[in-house]
Amino acid sequence: MTPAESTQLDARLEFAVELARQAGELTLGYFRSANLESERKGDGSPVTAADREAEALLRRLIGQRFPNDAILGEEFGESGGNSGFRWILDPIDGTKAFITGVPLYTNLIAVLQDGSPKIGVINAPAAGEMVYAQAGKGCWHALGDESPRPAHVSQISDISEATCVTSSVKSFTTEREIDARHVWDQLQAACRITRTWGDAYGYLLVATGRAEIAIDPAMSLWDSASLPTIIEEAGGKFFDWQGKPSIHSCESIATTPALAPLVLTLVQSKQPMGQLP
């Protein structure tokens, strides 16, 4: 990477962190509001005025600062650009948590350069924490008003001591080549703790060493684009259910280097945990 490219990324990371904070403040204005109403989109997922207003804010600010950058957002689709940079936005990841007053929803921002993830931000405004990363610059955890500190994945190497999180057990009933529900049952049998502390907040937990595995069988690009930079810069591994480090596979796994081979074997195996080699 040239010094000029690094400078361009530095500027976008600083801006992405500020954007996430502004989106967080906007969504907190709606959080746990008695007047909050939700609608169902065509795919059955919920959406609120907070989702739309937060994405509109992000698009407007990005357009003012980096008018030649492309933008893809969950609520308003794609707008083109010719700079080689593409912003991927999920104004509220975990809208189901948001509308039920659970403080684990997040604002997600990613920046791709020539199609490759280079910046990721997960902001959990109601929980008061954020993780962010730039390729080659490490991952940082900001907790409340404290100064950001380096984020690192857990050192646990025994899956029987691991915590595994996902967004929804129901999502593992989706028909696919791999028996997804069998995968969840395997993980539940193997790990010490399994919980649905999910959506992007689960990946924040992995990046900060509080969970060892985050897994989802159904992901969109705006769900996954911010994750690999954060997980990898925190020392972890991010890959799909075939073991590929991709944000385009509609599925994801984040884990520690020590557990990655076993987790992938478990995901791809049809054998019970006790019969794995």
110 pLDDT band (50/70/90 cuts)? very high
What is the rounded CA–CA span in Å between residue 136 and residue 276? Answer: 36
Q: What is the CA radius of gyration of the chain?
A: 18
45 pLDDT band (50/70/90 cuts)? confident
CB-CB neighbours of 80 under 10 Å: 10
In the predicted model, what is the mean pLDDT of the chain? 93
**Whole-model pTM?**
0.94
In order of their start, the domains of the chain are 3-150 (3.30.540.10), 159-270 (3.40.190.80)
Per-residue model confidence (pLDDT) at position 40? 85
Q: Compute CA 209 distance to the chain's CA centroid, rounded to the nearest angstrom.
A: 15
What is the rounded CA–CA span in Å between residue 5 and residue 193? Answer: 42
Among the residue ranges 62-66, 172-176, 199-203, 210-214, the one predicted with the least confidence is 172-176
Instruction: Tell me the C-alpha to C-alpha distance, in Å, between residue 232 and each of 44, 169, 175, 242.
Output: 32, 25, 29, 18
Of residues 65, 96, 71, 64, the one with CA closest to residue 85: 71
Residue percentage of the chain with pLDDT more than 90: 83
What is the rounded CA–CA span in Å between residue 68 and residue 82? Answer: 6
Check pLDDT > 70 for residue 274.
no
Those residues whose C-beta lies under 8 Å from the C-beta of residue 49, and which sit 6 or more positions away, are 30, 36, 37
Per-residue model confidence (pLDDT) at position 136? 96
What is the rounded CA–CA span in Å between residue 39 and residue 49? Answer: 9
Place of tokens 């980096």: 66
Over residues 19-29, the pLDDT tens digits come to 999 999 999 99
Over residues 206-252, the pLDDT tens digits come to 999 999 999 999 999 999 999 999 999 999 999 999 999 999 999 99
Strand partners, 193: 163
Q: If DSSP codes are grouped into helix, strand and coil, which group holds residue 40?
A: strand
Per-residue model confidence (pLDDT) at position 166? 97
Strand 70-73 and strand 77-79: the pairing is antiparallel
* CA quadruple 142, 27, 111, 9: dihedral, nearest 10: -50
* CA quadruple 207, 238, 85, 50: dihedral, nearest 10: -60
Over residues 117-142, the pLDDT tens digits come to 999 999 999 999 999 999 999 999 99
